[in-house]
Amino acid sequence: MKKAYIIGILMIVAGIGYLISATSDVSTYANFSDAKSNSKVKVSGFLIKNKPIVYDPNVDANLTTFFMEDQKGESMKVIYQNSKPQDFEMSESLVVTGKLENDIFYASDILLKCPSKYKDQEVMLRKNE
């Protein structure tokens, strides 16, 4: 066999291996009650702003604790082992990825949906139409 064929086959096998490993990390969307039975899930919801958000970089710069309400209205304490994201309190909604242990959700990632800077302009355009 030619070297080019062998290299091509190895590249195809490596690509397939990469795709398989990438799909194994995909977690499913759930709510907090579904998270009890799964290992790693994504929970979409809202930050509960009237409960404390604990982040003190002088004590532990890699610890943020807050409360979140999922799409079905269930609230839970969330511990994020990283610094608090910028504009965290201004977010419209959150998606946290992680797992539930002992009625506490341990988040490994947080995705924020922040308010659009064009939102007021969109509302104004609708009023003028």
Give me the pLDDT at residue 102, please: 87
Which pLDDT belongs to residue 119? 57
Q: Check which CATH number belongs to the domain holding 109 and give it.
A: 2.40.50.140
Nearest to 68 by CA among 40, 115, 110: 110
Distance CA 57, CA 63 (A): 8
| Residue 1: per-residue pLDDT | 67
Domain range for 63 is 28-115
Domain count, the chain: 1
Regions of the chain short of the pLDDT cut 50: 122-129
Query: What pLDDT score does 127 carry?
Result: 39
Q: In the 8-state DSSP scheme, what is residue 54?
A: B
Q: Do the domain assignments include residue 124?
A: no
The confidence score (pLDDT) of residue 22 equals 65
The per-residue pLDDT for range 54-83, each reduced to its tens digit, is: 999 898 888 999 999 998 989 999 999 988
Q: What is the C-alpha separation between 88 and 49, in angstroms, rounded? A: 10
Which of left, alpha, beta for 84 (phi over 0: left; psi -120 to 50: alpha)?
Answer: beta
Is residue 12 a part of any domain in this protein?
no
pLDDT of residue 122: 47
Residue 74 lies in a domain: yes
